[in-house]
Structure 1
């Protein structure tokens, strides 16, 4: 009986995936739809492995890392937030990798009631509320602030700016018609219903998403494998379906 039981245990062990594991990914809110699809592809390519995805503004996620929240992979929507994560030893800097690019756009509710057509038009009297991610924690907000500063509009529009905790909150406000215009990523505008792009927002360089293995990752090997997946042909193709541009050659 003991031999039979031992044999059954061996058969069961052999049938289980050798690398079965689970990791938690903290990612910028603008990646919500795309990474949900990447999760499916990664898990299919790694039987037994599972991903848990958590989304918020990059700055908010960095704060959560600082509180010791369980995390294996951090994906920020800008290099600056990732640099802070490295400096604060929240991630392993040696694993840092660009995984996607994006663009910032000025979006409006469908029908464009305020007739917004470029950054300068935001100064018109008919434009009363402009949604933007809080620059203190939301990369999209920082990108927008720089663009407006370059045109000497940031302070001129201060009374009209409405801060939101993430770019997805700006998108939701646009869809509900709660604001006359808002700064979101091109991928968000494409995915959002009842939202249209009024104009692209010129930036000195593209919106850049950076991933790294968390310093306290429970499974650094699997975390690195997921980052590699994002930069693989399959991962790039999946992200591309949601409008993200491939990263530069690394």
Structure 2
């Protein structure tokens, strides 16, 4: 009897140990470990706003480039600050936020480089342009050369402010070389940027205006009266550069590189710019 009871106790103990052992062999946290494998560690790319200070004459081309670039880079928002290159230069010198600068003249980029406000090795001449004189598409004044600006029917001649608008400075050079700048002062209407010059001619507030070829091609309300002799003014170059103070250097450099891609250059050419060789 005692032997039978003892055997039963040993058997029960053995079953208990076997159950504990099986339980211990179960991996700890197996259920939670299984669910962890279904959790993605990928986080969406952080949105970045890039501010591009650009010459007003680049408005249309950059508008098209903006669409294609943002479609390929959904986390990037391009914000353009268009204006006269001289005014944009001053803004950058005074600490206004900007990640890239696209100027319509080297004279507005060079001071920024000299002040170390442009990233070293991240600036170059991207494009070139031409200066033309435009008149209203339905204009009656016969204008075919600089000399025609003296005619009585030409009452207003629009130019960008030479000190801050490169197109205005190029026009001043050409008119000075033709010995007409001083004589035409009573007729002069100055504008804050080249697009305002275009607008003055479109609305009939000026009989003639000096703009870039690229601006003239964007409007059906004006026509090119004549192409200004390129020998009479400095070469029109468009330098671009990454601003030293950018808070998004990688994204700024990526867009800087994209502007040099064939896809971007094709857009610029479409709008009348030329690519330096």
TM-score (norm 2): 0.82
Q: Is residue 41 of structure 2 the alignment partner of residue 10 of structure 1? A: yes
Alpha-carbon distance in structure 2 between the residues aligned to 1:155 and 1:6:
78
Measure how far apart 1:94 and its partner are: 2.5
Alpha-carbon distance in structure 2 between the residues aligned to 1:219 and 1:201:
40
Compared with structure 1, are the counterparts of its residues 84 and 107 closer, same or farther at alpha carbon in structure 2 (3 Å cutoff)?
A: same
Alpha-carbon distance in structure 2 between the residues aligned to 1:218 and 1:134:
32
- C-alpha RMSD over aligned residues: 2.1
Alpha-carbon distance in structure 1 between the residues aligned to 2:55 and 2:226:
23
Q: Is residue 69 of structure 2 the alignment partner of residue 42 of structure 1? A: yes
Q: Tell me the equivalent position of 1:229.
A: 258
Q: Tell me the equivalent position of 2:249.
A: 220
Q: Tell me the equivalent position of 1:158.
A: 185
Measure how far apart 1:23 and its partner are: 1.2
Alpha-carbon distance in structure 2 between the residues aligned to 1:61 and 1:21:
22
Unaligned 5+ runs, structure 1: none
Measure how far apart 1:90 and its partner are: 2.8
Q: Tell me the equivalent position of 2:226.
A: 199
Alpha-carbon distance in structure 1 between the residues aligned to 2:128 and 2:196:
21
TM-score (norm 1): 0.90
Match of 1:34, SS state, is helix
Structure with bigger RCO (C-alpha 8 Å, 6+ apart): 1
Unaligned 5+ runs, structure 2: 1-30
Alpha-carbon distance in structure 2 between the residues aligned to 1:6 and 1:40:
38
Measure how far apart 1:2 and its partner are: 8.5
Measure how far apart 1:159 and its partner are: 1.5
One of 78, 85, 109 as aligned partner of 1:82? 109
Alpha-carbon distance in structure 2 between the residues aligned to 1:7 and 1:64:
50
Larger Rg: 2
One of 40, 45, 48 as aligned partner of 1:21? 48
Measure how far apart 1:9 and its partner are: 5.8
Which residues of 2 match residues 1-250 of structure 1 at below 5 A? 8=39, 10-11=41-42, 13=43, 16-17=44-45, 21-204=48-231, 206-248=235-277
Compared with structure 1, are the counterparts of its residues 27 and 5 closer, same or farther at alpha carbon in structure 2 (3 Å cutoff)?
A: farther
CA contact (8 A) 1:91 1:215 kept: yes
Alpha-carbon distance in structure 1 between the residues aligned to 2:139 and 2:132:
14
Measure how far apart 1:36 and its partner are: 1.0
CA contact (8 A) 1:133 1:140 kept: yes
Alpha-carbon distance in structure 1 between the residues aligned to 2:141 and 2:259:
39
Q: Which runs of 4+ in 1 moved over 6 A?
A: none
Match of 2:183, SS state, is coil
Alpha-carbon distance in structure 1 between the residues aligned to 2:200 and 2:41:
56
